[in-house]
């Protein structure tokens, strides 16, 4: 790569570094098992986590469950450095087992329970775990998936026939793990520092998910480990529902909310949104926050949401500042210790200790994503005059129509500005005339009908002719993955461009 073509984020240290580093409660204490145990012992009998049922757990109670989970894993034959797949709904026990994996010196592989059997089987086959821990109602599925993925019979419960047969996967329920009564020893804690803490599977929006190897850094798992480091408390919900969330904001004195744009889109249409004005901070991530939604949140809540940017391979890279301007349509400035640059094509490159060490068992894919120490994110971006980064879209989603570059996000934002459009996504499909043609999928607002000619006229008043969609397709809802990201490949297939 010609590094003379790199555009670096200007002056980011002055904008953000001093503010954030000064706010740290304590430095990183090492591996995540040690961090968790030290912090939970400090919390003691103070409230740490409220279960979806409304019951509060103290730091000591949560640590007891986590130690039980670690003991269950060790009794099941899991050894430091082994990988453990964890699948379950949001619950205190799920969180406790996650910490228990770190306490046991093992490597956490968290999988979404919304995954299909095919998707879960891919994670299991690719990560080759020693154990799989899941909600009780998923046990039968887990056994079948483990057997199919490993080619060996799974073993249920903390095993008595140790060591495990080669290739076998130990199956435990989450509840069984946190209720384990084996003796806990902390002898395995320090061992985990020499290997990754977690394998985070990519969202799979462009192909089969790959396992990103993440190290023991204190920013991993901001909601859980970050709360432990800061000595704060967590109010946990099994699913997103604005009314109970609003009640908790008032009843529990919550101060921060972390959500994705799809949650905020629903929230601003609910009366409960007004109660979120009590919060000190609303954070948005996982997908771009449209400027119109940013403005709606600020108008209804009275505070600008804080948007940031990260990915499975790098944790968080960039954030709008806590103190300072938060700009709609941007993800902010590079975080301390993170370098961000753009290559000549506008692809975002990242370098820093937050960047992962590679894809599990896939050196070829790893090599493709690194260029002389810089990680190629696959995202396209631009800097404004203040150094704030704007995400223009995925490089794989860039549309080249008639020789001109079309960034889908720009077109989507203009379509959303029409009163009949609740949401929109733009893709490119092959065209003999244009190379690619711009196709828009639009979700109508409640009670409205999509008129393609009217929308094209609306777009033509705001965009260059080559950016105006050649086709506009109404759709009830945009296809999204578990993180709320639009599945562009599915839309291309529907548009006949697969």
Predicted local distance difference test score (pLDDT) of residue 20:
32
Predicted local distance difference test score (pLDDT) of residue 334:
96
Predicted local distance difference test score (pLDDT) of residue 11:
41
Q: What one-character DSSP code corresponds to residue 226?
A: I
pLDDT of 15 > 60? The answer is no
Mean pLDDT of 443-451: 90
Q: Out of 147-151, 256-260, 415-419, 472-476, pick the least confident.
A: 147-151
Mean pLDDT of 378-394: 91
- Measured distance CA(272)–CA(30) in Å, rounded: 41
pLDDT of 161 > 70? The answer is no
Using the structure block, give the residue that is written with the tokens 């026939």: 161
The shares of helix, strand and coil residues in the chain, as percent rounded to the nearest 5, are 35, 25, 40
320-345: per-residue pLDDT in tens? 999 999 999 999 999 999 999 999 88
pLDDT of 388 > 80? The answer is yes
Predicted local distance difference test score (pLDDT) of residue 24:
35
Q: How many CB atoms lie within 10 A of CB 25?
A: 10
Contact 348, 382 (CB under 8 A): no
Q: How far is residue 172 from each of residues 113, 124, 157, measured CA to CA in Å?
A: 15, 15, 5
pLDDT band at 13; cut points 50, 70, 90: very low
Contacts of 31 (CB under 8 A, 6+ apart): 102, 105, 189, 190, 192, 193, 197, 216
Predicted local distance difference test score (pLDDT) of residue 336:
93
- Measured distance CA(450)–CA(148) in Å, rounded: 46
**What is the total residue count of the chain?**
498
What are the two backbone dihedrals, phi and then psi, of residue 351, each rounded to the nearest 5 degrees?
-140, 135
Identify the top-confidence range among 105-109, 246-250, 405-409. 105-109
- Measured distance CA(118)–CA(418) in Å, rounded: 39
Contacts of 180 (CB under 8 A, 6+ apart): 68, 69, 71, 72, 75, 158
Contact 231, 42 (CB under 8 A): yes
Predicted local distance difference test score (pLDDT) of residue 320:
97
- Measured distance CA(182)–CA(70) in Å, rounded: 9
Domains and CATH numbers, the chain: 3-22+231-393 (3.40.50.12780), 32-225 (3.40.50.980), 398-494 (3.30.300.30)
Q: Out of 8-12, 194-198, 312-316, 399-403, pick the least confident.
A: 8-12
- Measured distance CA(381)–CA(390) in Å, rounded: 5
Q: At what angle do helices 92-103 and 59-75 cross, to 10 degrees?
A: 60
* Partners of residue 310 on adjacent β-strands: 316
Contacts of 299 (CB under 8 A, 6+ apart): none
Q: How far is residue 341 from each of residues 15, 114, 186, 210, measured CA to CA in Å?
A: 16, 35, 42, 24
366-384: per-residue pLDDT in tens? 999 999 999 999 998 999 9
Mean pLDDT of 273-283: 91
Q: What one-character DSSP code corresponds to residue 5?
A: G
pLDDT of 56 > 70? The answer is yes
Using the structure block, give the residue that is written with the tokens 């000190």: 280
Predicted local distance difference test score (pLDDT) of residue 400:
85
302: left (phi over 0), alpha (psi -120 to 50) or beta: left
What are the two backbone dihedrals, phi and then psi, of residue 442, each rounded to the nearest 5 degrees?
-125, 140
Q: Tokens standing for 45?
A: 């009998």
Q: Which residues of 116-137 are buried (b: 16+ CB within 10 A; e: fewer)?
A: eeebbbbbbebbbbbbbbbbee
- Measured distance CA(230)–CA(279) in Å, rounded: 17
Predicted local distance difference test score (pLDDT) of residue 152:
56
Q: Tokens standing for 170?
A: 């130990």
Contact 389, 332 (CB under 8 A): yes
Q: How many CB atoms lie within 10 A of CB 275?
A: 18
What is the average pLDDT score of the chain? 85
352-369: per-residue pLDDT in tens? 988 999 999 999 999 999
Mean pLDDT of 447-474: 92
Q: pTM for this structure?
A: 0.78
pLDDT band at 318; cut points 50, 70, 90: very high
Q: Measure CA 424 to chain center.
A: 21
pLDDT of 28 > 50? The answer is no
Predicted local distance difference test score (pLDDT) of residue 19:
34
Q: What one-character DSSP code corresponds to residue 183?
A: P
Q: Tokens standing for 113?
A: 């329970």
Which of the pair, 486 or 484, is modelled with greater confidence? 486
Please spell the DSSP secondary structure of 130-179, one letter per residue.
Answer: SEEEE-GGGHHHHHHHHHHHHSS--EESS-SSPSPPTT--EEEEHHHHHT
pLDDT band at 202; cut points 50, 70, 90: confident
- Measured distance CA(350)–CA(478) in Å, rounded: 30
Please spell the DSSP secondary structure of 263-287, one letter per residue.
Answer: HHHHHTTSGGGGGGGG-SEEEE-SS
Which of the pair, 259 or 85, is modelled with greater confidence? 85
pLDDT of 23 > 50? The answer is no
pLDDT of 351 > 90? The answer is yes
Predicted local distance difference test score (pLDDT) of residue 436:
87
Predicted local distance difference test score (pLDDT) of residue 33:
87
pLDDT of 29 > 60? The answer is no
pLDDT band at 22; cut points 50, 70, 90: very low
Predicted local distance difference test score (pLDDT) of residue 218:
45
Task: Please tell me whether the peptide bond between 251 and the residue prior to it is cis, using omega within 30 degrees of 0.
Answer: no
Q: Tokens standing for 490?
A: 């599915």
Task: Give the whole-number percent of the chain exceeding pLDDT 70.
Answer: 86
Contacts of 96 (CB under 8 A, 6+ apart): 62, 65, 66, 68, 69, 178
- Measured distance CA(490)–CA(437) in Å, rounded: 16
Strands 83-87 and 131-134: parallel
227-248: per-residue pLDDT in tens? 888 889 999 988 889 999 999 9
């Amino acid at each position: 790569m010609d590094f003379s073509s790199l555009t670096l984020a200007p002056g980011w240290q002055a904008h953000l570094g001093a503010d954030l580093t000064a706010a740290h409660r304590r430095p990183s204490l090492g591996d995540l098992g040690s961090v968790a145990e030290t912090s939970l012992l400090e919390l003691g009998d103070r409230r740490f986590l409220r279960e979806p049922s409304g019951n509060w757990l103290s730091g000591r109670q949560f640590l007891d469950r986590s130690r039980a989970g670690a003991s269950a894993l060790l009794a099941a034959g899991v050894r430091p450095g082994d990988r453990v797949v964890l699948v379950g709904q949001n619950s205190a026990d799920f969180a406790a087992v996650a910490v228990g994996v770190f306490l046991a010196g093992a490597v956490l592989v968290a999988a979404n329970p919304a995954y299909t059997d095919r998707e879960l089987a891919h994670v299991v086959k690719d990560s080759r775990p020693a154990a799989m821990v899941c909600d009780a109602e998923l046990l039968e599925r887990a056994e079948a998936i483990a057997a199919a993925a490993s080619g060996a019979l799974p073993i249920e419960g903390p095993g008595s026939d140790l060591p495990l047969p080669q290739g076998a996967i130990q199956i435990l329920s989450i509840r069984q793990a946190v209720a384990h009564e084996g003796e806990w020893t902390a002898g395995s804690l320090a061992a985990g520092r020499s290997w990754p803490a977690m394998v985070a599977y990519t969202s799979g929006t462009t192909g089969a998910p790959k396992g990103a190897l993440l190290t023991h850094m204190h920013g991993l798992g901001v909601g859980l480990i970050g709360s432990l480091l800061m000595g704060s408390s967590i109010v946990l919900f099994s699913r997103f529902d604005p009314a109970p969330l609003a009640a908790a904001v008032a009843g529990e004195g919550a101060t921060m909310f972390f959500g994705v744009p799809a949650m905020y889109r629903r929230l601003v249409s609910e009366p409960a949104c007004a109660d979120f004005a009590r919060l000190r901070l609303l954070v948005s991530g996982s997908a771009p926050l449209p400027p119109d939604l940013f403005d709606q949140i600020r108008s209804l809540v009275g505070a600008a949401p804080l948007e940031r940017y990260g990915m499975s391979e790098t944790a968080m890279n960039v954030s709008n500042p806590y103190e300072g301007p938060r700009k709609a349509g941007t993800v902010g400035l590079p975080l301390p210790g993170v370098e961000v640059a753009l290559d000549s094509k506008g692809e975002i490159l990242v370098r820093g200790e937050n960047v992962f060490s590679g894809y599990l068992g896939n050196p070829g894919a790893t090599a493709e994503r690194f260029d002389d120490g810089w990680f190629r994110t696959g995202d396209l971006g631009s800097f404004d005059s203040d150094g704030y980064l704007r995400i223009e879209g995925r490089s794989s989603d860039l549309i080249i129509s008639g020789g001109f570059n079309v960034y889908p996000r720009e077109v989507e934002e203009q379509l959303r500005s029409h009163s009949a459009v609740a949401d929109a996504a733009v893709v490119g499909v092959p065209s003999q005339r244009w190379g690619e043609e711009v196709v828009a999928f639009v979700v109508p607002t409640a009670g409205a009908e999509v008129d393609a000619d009217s929308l094209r006229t609306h777009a033509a008043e705001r965009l260059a002719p080559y950016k105006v969609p050649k086709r506009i397709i109404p759709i009830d809802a945009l296809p999204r993955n578990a993180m709320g990201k639009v599945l562009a490949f599915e839309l291309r297939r529907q548009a006949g461009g697969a």
